[in-house]
Amino acid sequence: MVLIGVWNVIGRYLGKLLERNLTSNGFIESQWYIFDVIFLMGAAYTLKHNGHVRVDVLYSNWNKKRRALANLLGTLLFLIPFSIMVILFSWKAILASWQIWELSPDPGGLPRAPIKSMIIVGFVLLIVQGISEAIKNFAILTNQLGSQEAEDDPSL
């Protein structure tokens, strides 16, 4: 993504000097698409590695069971329902994009259907990782996760 961005900048200015077009809308959009993929695929990865922002003023002082309860409730009441809603509300637009093979309105732009599909893929992965986190936190609450496993996991 960074290399494409650098090329877009260099190509724009170098192209002016050479009086040739060295970049295109396709390159610019591919940079956006790569960012979208990183963001959408990275959400589940970030959840797995406990990288999402929390209100650490309270959370960091809680014991493992209280953190597990907060994580479990947050996953079941917010993360999973929100992810399901995003999938449900975006489904029709994504399907319509595939049916008409929606293209960028910009000259030389890229198809929109594949990148729009990443919304569903990203949120499905987030739901799957949320279920994994819910199971882990439920195991902590019910003392089914050994103390060594709980200590080895930095998210607990």
Residue 87: pLDDT over 60: yes
Domain ranges of the chain: 43-152
**Is pLDDT at 98 greater than 80 in this prediction?**
yes
* Nearest Cα to Cα of residue 136 among 15, 50, 22, 36: 50
pLDDT digits (tens, 9 = 90+) for 24-54: 889 889 999 999 999 999 999 999 998 887 7
The pLDDT value recorded for residue 76 is 97
Query: pLDDT band at residue 146, thresholds of 50, 70 and 90?
Result: low
What is the pLDDT at residue 56? 74
Q: Give bridge partners of residue 111 from the DSSP assignment.
A: 103
Predicted confidence (pLDDT) at residue 55 exceeds the cutoff of 80: no
Q: Write the pLDDT tens digit of every residue in 16-30.
A: 888 888 888 898 899
For residue 59, what pLDDT is reported?
82
Candidates 113, 117, 124, 149; CA nearest to 37 is 117
Q: What is the pLDDT of residue 32?
A: 92
Per-residue pLDDT at 103: 94
